[in-house]
């Protein structure tokens, strides 16, 4: 800690977003960057706490005080080396992590202005690629082969760690490119897909093999290769890692669900990312908000990504409704520091314009000529349950109709169930935990790689 008083004299400075009227014209990343001097100054705010709660809160155990100190001193390569030890993909988390570390930062508790750990992390990662600190390693092979099913952050993290341990790793991915929800869920305005391509290129050079358009039968653990030969993963590999995420989105079976113009969020988000990658869709297939009033059902982050996407597609208006009450603003006594605060979150997409409503239940979808035109909703309230447990939903006011020609369902994902697998099959990431975060998927991937290694060592 080079400047012990910086936390008193240097205010938190975020790079901020591009101006709204500029950023909604394209799908480029919305977040800007600070210059080198400001970035190092931001790192100087870290107090090198005796008990670094940032480190405690980070699922990867990132050593924020150590790399912040190196960054403050301009030792970018050292900062990257420290960061890389705990986080194999800081260029992803540096962009899209909600930064559990910042909400647990002691400065967040005392001043409300945490160290800008996420942005600092991203700056270190980008400098590392720019200056060539990201080197290609060629691990010595140990003769064992591992198949990883799924190339989301969990699969990539397992593959990466196992590769460094000497395993020969093949990743089977049902999509046409790697990244999972990083590529086909998270919009480009939060994460440019070139960032994923760059990492995959490193991993390929280091020896990880990727097989695309390869949907594995998860019951039989078989897959057709690109010559249409049936490959048995159990016969051809010594261990298998299932990192298939949460493929089933929660649907809303209200009357009228069959109307055209009602889509699961990922039908919009995945298709938009594919369009940006150059894929073409027919007019009938295309899901677009252009010229439409859009209703997003679900108040979470996926819903927020739908809002930003709808704006960029040229929607007329966006409304987001949520069945749960509005979270407290600023502070929630039920989730005290250093826990993650459950408070109102306003994203860059919300800032771009959106009517947000809470305590709204969906009754039915309304339509004309087979196409959705609106949604009948019921304002509600939540009353404490006298028998304890889940609060009781009660009506609060008259039902009303929200006009919408495009309805997007962003209500989360079902936790997947898995067959009973033999002991050389491991499950990781969202496939194991249910829908979560990129940083948790990466952490789970690392742990799974250790479990695979331990399995072979005890044989
Ligand atoms: C719209 C959206 C936005 C999000 N934004 C954020 C965010 O900003 N920050 C954050 O931290 N988290 C975010 N998340 C959550 C985060 O993306 C996930 O927690 C994370 O991607 C989970 O990683 P994973 O590798 O376990 O699964 P996934 O990313 O879902 O990857 C699973 C992979 O397995 C492949 N697969 C599935 N079945 C098979 C099969 N049978 N054969 C072969 N391949 C298969 C899939 O095609 C996919 O590539 C977001 C999620 C969504 C939906
Ligand atoms: S809690 Fe905040 S100030 Fe303390 S070491 Fe971590 S980042 Fe630095």
The pLDDT tens digits of the residues spanning 96-105 come to: 999 999 999 9
Average pLDDT over residues 161-182: 98
Structural domain includes residue 370: yes
Q: Which domain range does residue 377 map to?
A: 262-409
Q: Quick check: is 448 in a domain? A: yes
The residues, any chain, with a CB within 8 Å of residue 109's CB and separated by 6 or more, are 337, 338
Closest Cα to atom 4 of ligand 2: 49
Please tell me the number of the ligand nearest to residue 210's CA: 1
**264 burial type by CB count under 10 A (0-12 exposed, 13-18 middle, 19+ buried):** buried
Is the C-beta atom of 416 inside 6 A of ligand 1? no
Q: How far is the CA of 64 from the centre of ligand 2 (A)?
A: 7
Distance of CA 118 to the CA centre of its chain: 14
End residue of a domain, out of 131, 159, 177: 131
**Closest alpha carbon to 147 in 136, 163, 131:** 163
Band (pLDDT 50/70/90 cuts) for residue 1 is: low
Name residue, tokens 């113009």: 261
DSSP conformation letters of 275-300: HHTT----TTT----TT-EEEEE--S
Same domain, 347 and 440: no
Residue 35 in any domain: the answer is yes
79 and 161 part of one domain: no
Q: Are residues 278 and 341 in the same domain?
A: yes
Instruction: Report the CATH number that the domain containing residue 45 is assigned in CATH.
Output: 1.10.1060.10
The reply to whether 321 and 433 lie within a common domain is: no
User: Closest Cα to atom 33, ligand 1: which residue?
Assistant: 150
Q: What ligand 2 atom has the least distance to the C-alpha of 55? A: 6
Is the pLDDT at 284 greater than 80? The verdict is yes
Instruction: Answer yes or no: is the C-beta of 54 below 6 A from any ligand 1 atom.
Output: no
CATH number of the domain bearing residue 389: 3.50.50.60
- Per-residue confidence (pLDDT) for residue 200, from 0 to 100: 98
Q: Does residue 252 lie within any of the structural domains?
A: no
**Pair (214, 348) in one structural domain:** no
- 353: in domain: yes
Q: Are residues 283 and 390 in the same domain?
A: yes
User: Tell me, what's the pLDDT at 459?
Assistant: 81
Q: How far is the CA of 46 from the centre of ligand 1 (A)?
A: 32
Both 404 and 421 in a single domain? no
My answer on whether 99 and 210 are in the same domain is no
State the distance from the centre of ligand 1 to the C-alpha of 179, rounded, in angstroms.
8
C-beta neighbour count of 9 within 10 angstroms: 10
Choose the final residue of a domain: 83, 107, 131.
131
Atom of ligand 1 nearest to the CA of 433: 26
Q: Which of 152, 190, 215, 264 to mutate to test the pocket of ligand 1 (most atoms within 8 A of CB)?
A: 152
The dihedrals phi and psi of 270, each to the nearest 5 degrees, come to -65, -40
| Pair (154, 237) in one structural domain | yes
Residue with the smallest CA separation from ligand 1 atom 38 is 244
Q: Report if residue 254 sits inside a domain.
A: no
What is the per-residue pLDDT across 6-52, written as a single tens digit (0 to 9) for each? Answer: 889 999 999 999 999 999 999 999 999 999 999 999 999 999 999 99
Q: Tell whether the model's pLDDT for residue 395 goes beyond 90.
A: yes
Overall number of domains in the chain: 3
């Amino acid at each position: 800690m080079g400047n012990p008083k910086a936390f008193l004299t240097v205010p938190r400075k975020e790079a901020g977003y591009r101006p709204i009227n500029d950023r909604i014209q394209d799908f480029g990343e919305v977040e800007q960057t600070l210059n080198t001097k400001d970035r190092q100054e931001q790192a100087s705010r870290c107090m090198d706490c005796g008990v670094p709660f940032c480190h405690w809160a980070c699922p990867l155990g990132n050593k924020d005080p150590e790399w912040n100190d190196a960054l403050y001193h301009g030792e970018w390569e050292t900062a990257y080396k420290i960061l890389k030890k705990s986080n194999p993909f800081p260029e992803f988390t540096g962009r899209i992590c909600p930064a559990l570390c910042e909400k647990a930062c002691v400065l967040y508790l005392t001043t409300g202005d945490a160290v800008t750990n996420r942005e600092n992390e991203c700056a270190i990662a980008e400098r590392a690629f720019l200056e060539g600190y990201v080197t290609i390693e060629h691990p010595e092979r140990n003769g064992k082969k591992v198949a990883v099913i799924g190339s989301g952050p969990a699969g990539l993290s397992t593959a990466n760690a196992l590769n460094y341990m000497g395993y020969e790793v093949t990743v089977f991915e049902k999509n046409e490119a790697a990244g999972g929800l990083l590529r086909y869920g998270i919009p480009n305005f939060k994460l440019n897909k070139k960032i994923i391509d760059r990492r995959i290129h490193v991993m390929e050079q280091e020896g990880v093999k990727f097989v695309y358009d390869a949907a594995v039968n998860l019951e039989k653990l078989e897959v057709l290769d690109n010559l249409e030969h049936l490959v048995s993963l159990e016969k051809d590999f010594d261990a298998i890692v299932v990192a298939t995420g949460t493929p089933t989105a929660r649907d809303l079976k209200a009357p009228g669900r069959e109307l055209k113009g009602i889509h699961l969020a990922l039908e919009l988000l995945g298709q938009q990312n594919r369009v940006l990658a150059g894929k073409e869709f027919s007019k009938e297939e295309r899901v677009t908000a252009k010229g439409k009033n859009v209703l997003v059902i679900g108040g979470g982050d996926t819903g927020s990504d739908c809002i930003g996407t709808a704006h960029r597609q040229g929607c007329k208006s966006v409304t987001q409704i949520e069945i749960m009450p509005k979270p407290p603003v600023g502070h929630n006594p039920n989730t005290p520091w250093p826990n993650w605060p459950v408070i109102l979150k306003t994203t860059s997409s919300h800032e771009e314009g959106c009517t947000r409503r809470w305590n709204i239940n969906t009754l039915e979808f309304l339509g004309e000529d087979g196409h959705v035109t609106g949604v009948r909703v019921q304002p509600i309230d939540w009353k404490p349950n006298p028998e304890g447990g889940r609060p009781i939903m009660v009506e609060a006011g008259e039902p009303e109709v929200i006009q919408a020609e495009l309805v997007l369902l962003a209500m989360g994902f079902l936790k997947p169930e898995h067959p009973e697998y033999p002991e050389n099959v491991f499950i990781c990431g969202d496939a194991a935990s249910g829908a979560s975060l990129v940083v948790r998927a990466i952490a789970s991937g690392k742990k799974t790689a250790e479990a695979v290694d331990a399995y072979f060592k005890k044989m």
